[in-house]
Structure 1
Amino acid sequence: MRAIWKGAIAFGLVNVPVKVYSATEDHDISLHQVHNADGGRIRYQRRCEVCGEVVDYSDIEKAFDEDGRTVVLSKDELKSIPAENSHEIEVVQFVPSEQLEPMMFEKSYYLEPDSKSPKAYVLLRRALEDTDRVAIVQFALREKTRLGALRIKDDVLVLQSLLWPDEVREANFPSLEADIRISAQERDMSAALVESMAADFEPESFTDEYQVQLRQLIDAKLEQGESLDTEETFGVEAGEGGKGEVIDLMEALKRSLDRKRGGGEGASAGGSSEGEADTGDGEAEPAKPARRASGNKASGNKASGTGAASKTAAKTGTDDAKPAAKSSAKSTAAKSTATKAAAAKSPASKSTGTKSADTKSSGTKTAAKPAAKTRTRKPA
């Protein structure tokens, strides 16, 4: 690296000589403009509007227009500004780092000790470490007085230039002034999505995909020339990407969570019908008691005698309990008194009637009451 500026940090009465280096660089592939007909290079010329001549850089000065007048400022006049001649990074205060607005950060510079004894440099670095604060500084660089923040990165002092407050625009968007309501479910799902994507920030795990693909395009063009097939190069049609269907917010949150959790839509689509559980062999078996209760209420089985007769059969171990209950119910209206009495004396009927009296099923009670009436009438 090459130092772009030399000066000193003024830390109270302590002077810390430093060299300044650009801490960042542009990794973009450099492209230039050409004429598409013959590939000729397009260059920008510094041409004077008055005489039409191309002007050499050494003959160019800077100027400012105001009220129709042009004020030309020579290089020597600009260098005469006192702040321009300052080579001092003046520490003006120490502040908590969380008070700095990230939007104000402009460019970063490494500071290297510029003396045989870097003790003052290390002392300032230790002071920032011990107090857990950032030094706010003022300095002049490249014809501009700047505000900056002095912090530590990997035992090196880093100077970050800051924008002045009036250089940060105010965000005033009428669309955000409307009364926007967010439901509790939307907030819960968005929080769950954030939690599913939570991780420690590792910058090295990210790649500038555009620059990688631009290099891929250049290499393919060098190899194939004008016969370049971009669809074959990238695997997609030219201009594709970024096209997605418009879905509502809740649906987008649900899909995002499913994708992150690895569940997909099949997790809820394969469930069995209400009140039944799939056994895997094409037949359904009764669901567990908790599900059966909700299923019976939903389907109106509470008023039906079928479920109660099945329960009675299960308790007595008699296979014909359910037919007996149905036969008993029909006999009250269609069969003779003798037939009713015979049905009442049968073991199945007694079992059904006895067990049903303890149950709360309305259908089974209906079957038991007529049998009791038949027994009281027979002696007469």
Structure 2
Amino acid sequence: MLAMVRSCDAFAYVPGYDRCRIPSVSSALPSLVIAVLPAFLLPVRPTAGTGIIWIVYFMHVFGAVAVAPFLSDLTQDTLFFSLFISLSFIVVSLASNLTTIPFISFRINSTILNASALIVIIAALSFILTRFSVSFNLPSIYDVYDVRADFVDKISDGGGVDGYVMLISAYSLVPIGAILSFITYKRSSVLSASFFLMSALVTLVIYSVAAFKSSVFIFLLVSMIYIYVGDKEPFRRLLLIFSVVLAFALILDLSGVHSDSLIHWFRRVFIVPGLNVQFYLDEFGFFNDVAVPDAPSIISRVYFETDGSANAGLYGNGLARGGWHGILFVLFIFYLIASLANTIGGRVPLRISISLLFPSAYALSNSSITTVILSYGLMVNFIFLYGLANSCPAKITRSADR
């Protein structure tokens, strides 16, 4: 809540945030209780699907409920909607944890899998280098929006393939390369170094060309989660990571050392998705039954007064697909994703499955669920995870545990 108060103050005159009102403790308490409720009821069984559930909860569900009292001027019944968000997410999460999808196994040679992955990463890097002028004079945080606007203009003229390659590289190929650099280290230091260097280089090239801030942190966070979370008590460690990030951002901001960590990075990851959900509710309504394909651009123009794309994860995307009917449709797909993650991810160590699927879970907190599956590489991550689960699982386990 303190982070939201600080963000409202810092962006008081920015469209969208100018709707923010600081609530009293008594008026904010019901929403906070509803936001915290899933933390006591969500599944904690150590599986990849549970990892996705908790990441989406931290980055999307909690914020969508907790920001509601800060937007008291909105016309919809936000308290009812907040309760619907928490309860529906709990039900879907528990249902996915009880579902078993059969796993079809067949042997895949690990050498072929590693070689294929490296070839694909190099091919993606080569494609980006041939399509764009890459400068390693990297843009600052204040220049990213101008650089990204130029990138969007360029891909609009290129038929969209460039955008697909860029997003899949950032959210899928970079994590795959980072994880394989750890897995292959004991068997081949040269192969491990190749995966690490290619992944790092793709990250830098993507940031240089498209200024995706998330691309830099995906590489760092995937590596950190792989190393730190491990296979024992992974969700306690995930919770500790998020808590430390918040505490560190608040300390830096309140001490005056570095305010960007809170009002830019933390706000973008944990507050903006929830803020957008409330705007979607206000604009389209809970009982709306008409799909709005261009909803992100409408929200961007109406609430933020920009020609951007204000996506809002599971619940915002659901509202745009047709009110509560659309939300149920999106939650059903999310249920299938979590169930499939449990099935495939159960064949490899948790540190591999959770760290690989972390970027996809982050994307689910911000974007359309079908866009995440296709454009953000969730399907590619599942294909790779499936291949990994079938390529000498015992060797993978031994390498990952070292």
Same fold per TM (> 0.5)? no
With the length of structure 1 as denominator, give the TM-score of the two structures: 0.19
Structure with bigger strand share is: 1
With the length of structure 2 as denominator, give the TM-score of the two structures: 0.18
Where relative contact order (Cα < 8 A, 6+ residues apart) is larger, the structure is 2
Structure with bigger helix share is: 2
